[in-house]
Amino acid sequence: MAELLKGKPVVADMKEELSKKIEEFKSRGINPKLGVIRVGARPDDLYYEGSIKKTCGGIGLEFEVFEFPEDVKQEDFEKSLKDIVNSKDIHGILMFAPLPKHLDEPKIRALIPVEKDVDCLTIGSAGKVFADDPTGFPPCTPTACMEIINHYGIDLQGKHAVVLGRSLVVGKPMAVLLLRENATVTICHSRTKDLPEVCKEADILVAAVGQPRMVNADYVKEGQVVIDVGINEDPDNPGKFCGDVDTQSVEPLVDKLAPSPGGVGGVTTVVLAKHVVKACEMQTT
Amino acid sequence: MTAEIVKGTEVAAAMKEEISLEMERLKEETGGGVPGLAIILVGDNPVSKINVNNIEKTAQELEFNPEVCRLPPETTEEELIQLIENFNHNKGIHGIVVQLPLPYHIDDKVILEAVLPEKDVEGLHSINKGRMLISFTPFLPCTPYACLKILEYINFDIEGKRGVVVGRSNNVGKPIAMQLLQKNVTVTICHSHTVNPAEVCRKADFLVVAVGRPELVKKDWVKPGGVVIDVGVNKVGEKVIGDVDFEEVSRVASYITPVPGGLGPVTTYTLMLNTLHSFKVVNDLA
């Protein structure tokens, strides 16, 4: 049976460290703060917002939501956003995407200063991530995978990591982060021939395709570490979520498994907080 | 099996024809406007000089308007930035090339960031790298672009194939990997820390090698019938050789690019394609 790489202990350790840092800041009269921009009230966004709020509350990180009506005008939105992002009191910005269709999203994203862009919403941040410049924040989800990998002492050096999925928010940046740790990286996707065979080549398999329970026993082999990034509506249990990995069939085979739910997902919001603290550090020193 | 040797000059000739035809067509639509390309050389590195002359000559042959600035080695960073600023504002200039390496007292990174991303036809600005990662870049860096052009020239359909990129540099390895993903390739990136690279590379339907290690890739790295593109340019004594052991590998591969004479000539033309693209964007013809 696989060792389960649960998110909780990772979250606990990270929170402890962050709390200390935030306290230190506060003792110097600096109040690290995250600004969350939400247009409309999509249930997914509200759910994520709730967990961010909980995380921030737990570690004393200041947090403010800036809410805009669904039909906000481009001009008005730009104007308010500029004020928010340029406020000295706010060190990190998260904006829920996608924005409503009538808004020019690339133009709006570009208003976020790279040094406050804690979830890699801007092309400027992505350029830094691509070029391994540590002042650019990678998206939170692939960073959360790395936190799990580090926490459980999984060695990447020279190992073959296979990333299943090539999305802009997970797959591609994940590949860049794994390369930084000297892993050999393969990125495969829906057009890959013999997908299960390619996945079996992995020492570490990261599943980020958004297909409920797609990765089953055919995709894995003994000794592997499997990280499940997927969060899908469970087709068999309405109202519940499941990952990209079929835990029941994979768990008996592999060495280690970060399950979903219970793995990467919970770490993501703490990564966001960590980025805000780092952004605050960069902005105040 | 003996590999077919893909001659860069032949690929370049085909690209030249393609660009000339496009220029002919555009002439009517733009009322005689031509793509302007600024080329900046600082100092007198002999290889850089040859490269700049090459770019200038190619641009002239294509009836572009090249504007070459050959600056003394003592040029300051501020002077160089000012010059780039002028080109950024110049409406007749659609692309800016800064020949690297720059003299030691000038920071390459600062200079490359000074180029307007819309005129960054070498695809080296961080904004264009960011686009590569999270959206689409209008300017694929010239070397990776040349690799794609070579695959296209030999009619190698990369869709769904396995491609292995050896080397993870910011200007070659990573950009080509990202671009190949866009084209539905299953991509593996390996590098100096890869355990058993020969085995990893042997899985490839095509191999792109860009590590700067003379003749690193031997025949047991290549699947019989695989396509091999050698990006390496290594000076060993008086000779220039690639990252691939040409002699050995050409006995197992189906296609191979030689060094010199493979990628080099194609790269100059990808720069022209990027400049032409920028010209079209400015004229609403893209």
Identify whether B2 is part of a domain. no
* Confidence grade of residue A142 (pLDDT, cut at 50, 70, 90): very high
Q: How far is A25 from chain B (nearest CA, A)?
A: 32
Average pLDDT, chain A: 96
CATH assignment of the domain containing A214: 3.40.50.720
Identify whether B274 is part of a domain. no
Identify whether B105 is part of a domain. yes
- Looking at the structure, tell me whether residues B51 and B158 fall in a common domain: no
Q: How far is B138 from chain A (nearest CA, A)?
A: 13
- Looking at the structure, tell me whether residues B97 and B170 fall in a common domain: no
For residue range A149-189, what is the model confidence (pLDDT) as tens digits?
999 999 999 999 999 999 989 999 999 999 999 999 999 99
The long-range contacts involving B203-207, CB below 8 angstroms and separated by at least 24 positions, are B203/A201, B203/B162, B203/B164, B204/B162, B204/B163, B204/B164, B205/B158, B205/B161, B205/B162, B205/B163, B206/B151, B206/B156, B206/B158, B206/B161, B206/B162, B206/B163, B206/B164, B207/B163, B207/B164, B207/B166
- Looking at the structure, tell me whether residues B107 and B148 fall in a common domain: no
Identify whether A121 is part of a domain. no
- Looking at the structure, tell me whether residues A162 and A195 fall in a common domain: yes
Identify whether A104 is part of a domain. yes
- Looking at the structure, tell me whether residues B186 and B259 fall in a common domain: yes
Say yes or no for a CB contact (<8 Å) between A126 and B160. Answer: no
Identify whether B231 is part of a domain. yes
Q: Count how many pairs of residues, chain A against chain B, have C-beta atoms within 8 Å.
A: 102
- Looking at the structure, tell me whether residues A168 and A205 fall in a common domain: yes
The domain total for chain B is: 2
How far is residue A122 from each of residues A7, A139, A203, A271, B64, measured CA to CA in Å? 28, 10, 32, 18, 34
- Looking at the structure, tell me whether residues A100 and A170 fall in a common domain: no
Say yes or no for a CB contact (<8 Å) between A126 and B130. Answer: yes
Which chain A residue has the Cα nearest residue B170?
A131
- Looking at the structure, tell me whether residues A74 and A166 fall in a common domain: no
Q: Is the pLDDT of residue B41 over 80?
A: yes
ipTM above 0.85, yes or no: yes
> Which residues numbered 100-129 in B keep a CB inside 8 Å of some CB on A?
125-129
- Looking at the structure, tell me whether residues A42 and A79 fall in a common domain: yes
- Looking at the structure, tell me whether residues B197 and B252 fall in a common domain: yes
Q: In this complex, which of B134, B162, B194 lies closest to A126 when CB atoms are compared?
A: B134
- Best of B108, B169, B186 to mutate (most A CBs within 10 Å, chain A): B186
- Looking at the structure, tell me whether residues B236 and B200 fall in a common domain: yes
- Looking at the structure, tell me whether residues B172 and B249 fall in a common domain: yes
- Looking at the structure, tell me whether residues B44 and B97 fall in a common domain: yes
- Looking at the structure, tell me whether residues B150 and B253 fall in a common domain: yes
Identify whether A11 is part of a domain. no
Q: Is the pLDDT of residue B268 over 90?
A: yes
Identify whether A281 is part of a domain. no
CATH assignment of the domain containing B231: 3.40.50.720
Say yes or no for a CB contact (<8 Å) between A128 and B174. Answer: no
Structural domain range at position A85: 28-115
Identify whether B89 is part of a domain. yes
Identify whether A98 is part of a domain. yes
CATH assignment of the domain containing A98: 3.40.50.10860
Q: Is the dihedral of CA A127, A94, A277, A153 positive or negative?
A: negative
Considering only CB atoms, which chain B residues are within 8 Å of A191?
A: 159-160, 184, 186
pLDDT at A70: 96
Touching check for B196 and chain A: CB below 8 Å? no
* Confidence grade of residue B27 (pLDDT, cut at 50, 70, 90): confident
Considering only CB atoms, which chain A residues are within 8 Å of B130?
A: 122-130
Contact assessment for residue A203 and residue A161, using Cβ atoms and an 8 Å cutoff: yes
Contact assessment for residue A160 and residue A143, using Cβ atoms and an 8 Å cutoff: no
Touching check for B137 and chain A: CB below 8 Å? no
- Looking at the structure, tell me whether residues B104 and B148 fall in a common domain: no
For residue range A51-105, what is the model confidence (pLDDT) as tens digits?
999 999 999 999 999 999 999 999 999 999 999 999 999 999 999 999 999 999 9
Considering only CB atoms, which chain A residues are within 8 Å of B203?
A: 201
DSSP conformational letter for B103: P
Structural domain range at position B66: 31-116
- Looking at the structure, tell me whether residues A147 and A70 fall in a common domain: no
Say yes or no for a CB contact (<8 Å) between B133 and A186. Answer: no
CATH assignment of the domain containing B35: 3.40.50.10860
> Which residues numbered 170-199 in A keep a CB inside 8 Å of some CB on B?
172-173, 175-176, 179, 182, 184-189, 191-193, 198
Residue B62 to residue B234: CA distance in whole angstroms? 30
The domain total for chain A is: 2
- Percent of chain A as helix, strand, coil, to the nearest 5: 45, 15, 40
- Best of B107, B108, B133 to mutate (most A CBs within 10 Å, chain A): B133
Say yes or no for a CB contact (<8 Å) between B135 and A185. Answer: no
Q: Is the pLDDT of residue B134 over 80?
A: no
For residue range B230-244, what is the model confidence (pLDDT) as tens digits?
999 998 999 999 999
pTM: 0.94
